[in-house]
Amino acid sequence: MLKAVILIGGPQKGTRFRPLSFEVPKPLFPVAGVPMIQHHIEACAQVPGMQEILLIGFYQPDEPLTQFLEAAQQEFNLPVRYLQEFAPLGTGGGLYHFRDQILAGGPEAFFVLNADVCSDFPLNAMLAAHRQDRHPFLLLGTTANRTQSLNYGCIVENPQTHEVLHYVEKPSTFISDIINCGIYLFSPDALKPLRDVFQRNQQDGQLEDSPGLWPGAGTIRLEQDVFSALAGQGQIYVYLTDGIWSQIKSAGSALYASRLYLGRYEFTHPERLAKHTPGGPQIRGNVYIHPTAKVAPSAVLGPNVSIGKGVTVGEGVRLRESIVLHGATLQEHTCVLHSIVGWGSTVGRWARVEGTPNDPNPNDPRARMDSESLFKDGKLLPAITILGCRVRIPAEVLILNSIVLPHKELSRSFTNQIIL
């Protein structure tokens, strides 16, 4: 028996993903046509023996999240439950707080996946490696070049046994070209070190004249409090993958993840990819079109385009490397490149919206890792274009490297500015 836990964070996190996370929780943002965490759930559901999938986070269980959970249970015929933390507890605190729920039924092991990663999720391969040589912690790792490795948790392994000898989260100098993918397989024994961290936090934070539990004791960081502390003690091992992987921290990385998932659809979900048909739009490369979208026959779409529910694409529209969210309208002869068009937005005739390509590829030394804020010294940094909800872009407007927030009508061209 197996279980899976998906760590979805909370509204206080994902600030680099704003304004996209204002409309829906970040884990439900559509990437390649489906909510971000649906890719995780699909991968978990394909593991033989999977009995339950738990989501742990600090989001309020609002209507969109509840509807998603109900739909996921029906589609995958698996219990999918959400466990809400009483406070943000870090990457390990929720696991310890809900340990009884995780261990209920006696699973032999459980997967732990961060919601904001894109991967082909080699879970079956990780399970096979775990069963061959059982240890409390098995981490999924991949390689990065020396420059980009500094943006991630770095792993020093024994090349013969794959034991993790040293672990440093975002080091200041080069440690290793093996980085942590944020995907794990834990045995039930893995919760014992989390208990030790909780008790140590309790002892360190409790005042002598303050009876009861110290509220901060429940905050546990897997990477710093557990992996770094236990490295080299024969408890943590790494499974290396050469498959696709990236983080989803900002709008630019969402487009990159969409491209990776659309590429995988050729093998995993070919039915999701649009086909070129007589009398239909011209399809170039991998394109997802929601069945309710209306696309004019003269439109040219692709590569790497995702079109959401109820979208209208007019005659002569050109779309490339973009995500168009539900209810948006692209009027005649619009050109949208490297951009995300927000919910309910309207882009007028002959308007051009173009963002700066930003591929957070850990193996590209020239890639810009989008760990920075959207703003610096009060100025908007050049980034992917985001058209906010209910924005109308009139005809013959050129927008470059801008973020347009809701409830504004544009009447001229903007470059590297933010419209408040």
Model confidence over 115-144: pLDDT tens digits? 999 999 999 999 999 999 999 999 999 999
Of 49-53, 59-63, 224-228, least confident by mean pLDDT is: 59-63
Which pairs with CB-CB distance under 8 Å and at least 24 residues apart come from 310-317?
313/281, 314/349
Angle between helices 36-45 and 63-76 (to 10 degrees): 30
Give percent of the chain above pLDDT 70. 81
Sequence-ordered list of residues with C-beta below 8 angstroms from that of 245, at least 6 positions apart, any chain: 117, 118, 119, 120, 142, 181, 362
AA identity, residue 42? E
Nearest-10 Cα torsion for 375, 256, 176, 238: 130
Query: What pLDDT was estimated at residue 202?
Result: 82
278-415 has the same fold as 2-247? no
Question: What pTM value is reported for the model?
Answer: 0.88
Contacts (Cβ under 8 Å, ≥6 apart) of 328: 308, 311, 312, 341, 342, 343, 344, 345, 346, 347, 387
* Long-range contacts (CB closer than 8 Å, 24 or more residues apart) made by 315-321: 320/284, 321/255, 321/259, 321/357
For the record, the structure tokens of 269 come out as 């979900």
Domain boundaries of the chain, sorted by first residue: 2-247, 278-415
- pLDDT of 406 reads 42
Q: Determine the average pLDDT of the residues in 305-318.
A: 97
CATH architecture of 2-247: Alpha-Beta Complex (3.90)
* Structure confidence at residue 15 as a pLDDT band (50, 70, 90): low
Q: What is the mean pLDDT of residues 292-318?
A: 96
User: How many C-beta atoms surround the C-beta of residue 63 within 10 A?
Assistant: 7
What number is the average pLDDT over the span 47-67?
A: 94
Please give the mean pLDDT across all residues of the chain: 86
- Residue 232, classed as helix, strand or coil, is coil
Residue range 242-298, pLDDT digits in tens: 999 999 988 788 999 999 999 999 999 999 999 988 889 999 999 999 999 999 999
Q: How many residues belong to the chain?
A: 420
Phi, psi (rounded to 5 degrees) for 135: -145, 160
User: What pLDDT band is residue 14 in, cutting at 50, 70 and 90?
Assistant: low
How far is it, in rounded angstroms, from Cα 96 to Cα 89? 9
Give residue 244's identity as a one-letter amino acid code. I
Q: What is the CATH architecture assignment of 278-415? A: 3 Solenoid (2.160)
Instruction: State the pLDDT confidence band at 108, using cuts at 50, 70 and 90.
Output: very high
73-96 per-position pLDDT tens digit: 999 999 999 999 998 999 999 999
Name the pLDDT band for 386 (thresholds 50, 70, 90).
Answer: low
What is the rounded CA–CA span in Å between residue 342 and residue 155? Answer: 38
